[in-house]
Amino acid sequence: MRVVLCAGVYVLGAREDVAWALQHALEETQSALESAVERPHPAAVVANIADLARANAFLWLETGLKAPARLSRLIPAAGLDQPPAVVWLPRALVLAAVAADIYTGYALFGSVT
């Protein structure tokens, strides 16, 4: 019974996380489109779209990382052993995302100069 209750709480929390991320993504998209209308210069539009893509990537990464974090709190409550991937996977994803973002920034600046 405890496993079923934990699974229900997990699903509800995941649904709230996705709804929150979707709301923020829509707000950021609307803001980017409004700024593209205000400043229709092609370079500004490309910069805004690039910022939007980067922000959305980190937003959905955060949402994806909330699931293992929530699961790691519920597994012991259900009386189950925690698999090792739940411990190291979120850290690896964060490191990979930050490394990719830094590399992309350096590659972009290196091609501009």
Domain boundaries, the chain: 2-112
Contact 90, 65 (CB under 8 A): yes
Instruction: Tell me which residue of 37, 62, 91, 34 sits closest to 54, measured CA to CA.
Output: 62
Contacts of 68 (CB under 8 A, 6+ apart): 86, 89, 90
Report pLDDT digits (tens) over 77-96: 656 666 666 667 777 778 88
* Cα gap 28→52, rounded to integer Å: 7
0.75 surpassed by pTM: no
Mean pLDDT per 10-residue segment, the chain (113 residues): 55 83 94 88 83 87 80 67 67 82 76 59
* CA 97 to mean position of chain CA atoms: 10
